[in-house]
Amino acid sequence: MPIDSPAIPKVGFVSLGCPKALVDSEQILTQLRAEGYDTAKSYDGADLVIVNTCGFIDAAVQESLDAIGEALNENGKVIVTGCLGAKKDAQGDDIIQKVHPKVLAVTGPHALGEVMDAVHTHLPKPHAPFIDLVPAQGIKLTPKHYAYLKISEGCNHRCSFCIIPSMRGDLVSRPIADVMLEAENLFKAGVKELLVISQDTSAYGVDVKFRTGFWNGRPVKTHMTQLVGALGELASQYGAWVRLHYVYPYPHVDDVIPLMSDGSVVPYLDVPLQHAHPDVLKRMKRPANGEKNIERIQAWRKMCPDITIRSTFIAGFPGETEQEFQYLLDFLQEAQIDRLGCFAYSPVEGAAANDLADPVPEEVREERRARVMQLQETISRQRMQAKVGKTIRVLIDEVDRSGGGVGRSMADAPEIDGVVYVKAPYEPHLKLAAGEFVDVAVTAADAHDLWAKA
């Protein structure tokens, strides 16, 4: 039975105020898009409206209050952020709540996390595993030290199980100067880890014929390798990490591996392979399906022995024979992928794969998924065990009352990979803090997580 593709929730946005407020608005809009929300051009096309206010002078206060009133009248579901949100009247009461008690939530300026929390509460987005760029759990922006940087929208491929191109259109790359400016603003705002996302990061710039843009007074091409080089340079200035997601294994990806070996970007590649057997890949119409992925992975590991490879796979794609599935298991055994997700195939309404012959029964799809995960459990356990005794750098996400913390190493993307549990340090100068890096010695491992001491 086809699964209905969930409707994309639309958010309307009214941005008032100075350039600082504008940057806040851009960050909220970027985050909304990264999480898969759409923006609405009119009040009645929106499921919810965010008003970013100004509270500087009386005229600006009035303009903001009028804008909130209009959004409430026209739409009804309104979240308010910005300077006026933090302002109180002479009696010490919140101005906005007093004038417009029906608003759903009010935050002050620079409150990306709080605004997104309010959006998640009042307009939760259904998760679609074949469509979403971010995990089902959503992005928790508390801690706020990592951010997603979306470099393009849409996709030029036509994978037969996917409806993204029909929903979001062909690839549209953001200008490289805009991407770099956003990255710089995020680092300036304290982001310690930037996660580069798109539908196909390797294809960045194809639509604009790799047009030359400018950043920092010098020409930079709208091309994946030049973008990664520039991001790596910027991240080094701020002592931050850059992590690449959704990279297809085209030959030019080899050029970013040296940037991983020299520490400019995190040695981590999220390469969604989906299958290994050439015939299944052809039926899936996957990009780069002619590439020799085993050789490519081995070459990457040779260039950068510390690289972590993450991938996702689909088990039970229409027509998948037991022999083709076994081919996938053999590939996984040889490839020794570090982090792996596997979905049992689900037909998405509108996808071309629904018309393929020989659909695999649901119980077989599930059973094959379980076999992939069982094999991966053994591979992961061994690979994680090999880290015991090593010293690794960890970005702390949370600190508990005992002074211990939970963080992530370069091998762990937030929400989708494992974590590192760090014991409370004995020495007071080694106090753990959320959003800070710490070097730790790994003391134990299971198939997903590590335990360590500072």
State yes or no: residue 40 binds ligand SF4 (CB under 6 A).
no
Whose CA is closest to 320, among 268, 284, 350?
284
Close Cβ partners of 361 (under 8 Å, ≥ 6 residues apart): none
Close Cβ partners of 104 (under 8 Å, ≥ 6 residues apart): 48, 77, 78, 79, 118, 122
State yes or no: residue 200 binds ligand SF4 (CB under 6 A).
yes
**Dihedrals φ, ψ of 343, to 5°?**
-105, 145
What residues from 323 to 382 belong to the interface with ligand SF4 (CB under 6 A)? none
Yes or no: say if 433 and 397 are a contact pair by the CB < 8 Å rule: no
Measure CA 2 to chain center: 27
User: Which of 100, 140, 157, 371 touches ligand SF4 (CB under 6 A)?
Assistant: 157
Question: What's the token pair of residue 171?
Answer: 């690839």
State yes or no: residue 199 binds ligand SF4 (CB under 6 A).
yes
Compose the 101-140 pattern: x for residues touching ligand SF4 by CB under 6 A, - for all others: ----------------------------------------
Question: What's the token pair of residue 180?
Answer: 């770099």
How many residues contact ligand SF4, by CB under 6 A? Answer: 10
| Contacting range for ligand SF4; rule: CB under 6 A; set: 2-10, 41-49, 155-163, 377-385 | 155-163
CA distance 117 to 113: 6
Yes or no: say if 269 and 296 are a contact pair by the CB < 8 Å rule: no
State yes or no: residue 165 binds ligand SF4 (CB under 6 A).
yes
Question: Which of 68, 281 has the CB closer to ligand SF4?
Answer: 281
| Contacting range for ligand SF4; rule: CB under 6 A; set: 152-160, 361-369, 398-406, 415-423 | 152-160
| Contacting range for ligand SF4; rule: CB under 6 A; set: 33-41, 156-164, 386-394, 437-445 | 156-164
State yes or no: residue 311 binds ligand SF4 (CB under 6 A).
no
Task: Report, in Å, the least distance between residue 272 CB and ligand SF4.
Answer: 7
Question: What is the residue-wise DSSP string for 143-210?
Answer: S-SEEEEE-EES-S---TT--HHHHH-S-EEPPHHHHHHHHHHHHHTT--EEEEE-S-GGGTTGGGTT
Tokens 């605004």 belong to residue = 115
Residues present in the chain in total: 454
State yes or no: residue 249 binds ligand SF4 (CB under 6 A).
no
Task: Report, in Å, the least distance between residue 429 CB and ligand SF4.
Answer: 47
User: Which of 162, 191, 271, 342 touches ligand SF4 (CB under 6 A)?
Assistant: 162
* Torsion angle (degrees, nearest 10) of CA 330, 333, 336, 338: 100
Task: Report, in Å, the least distance between residue 286 CB and ligand SF4.
Answer: 7
State yes or no: residue 198 binds ligand SF4 (CB under 6 A).
no
User: Which of 34, 46, 155, 195 touches ligand SF4 (CB under 6 A)?
Assistant: 155
Yes or no: say if 454 and 440 are a contact pair by the CB < 8 Å rule: yes
Other beta carbons within 10 Å of 302: 10
State yes or no: residue 224 binds ligand SF4 (CB under 6 A).
no
What residues from 256 to 295 belong to the interface with ligand SF4 (CB under 6 A)? 287
Question: Which of 30, 312 has the CB closer to ligand SF4?
Answer: 312
| Contacting range for ligand SF4; rule: CB under 6 A; set: 157-165, 216-224, 227-235, 369-377 | 157-165
Question: Which of 226, 274 has the CB closer to ligand SF4?
Answer: 274
State yes or no: residue 159 binds ligand SF4 (CB under 6 A).
yes
> Which residues of the chain form contacts with ligand SF4 (CB under 6 A)?
155, 157-159, 162, 164-165, 199-200, 287
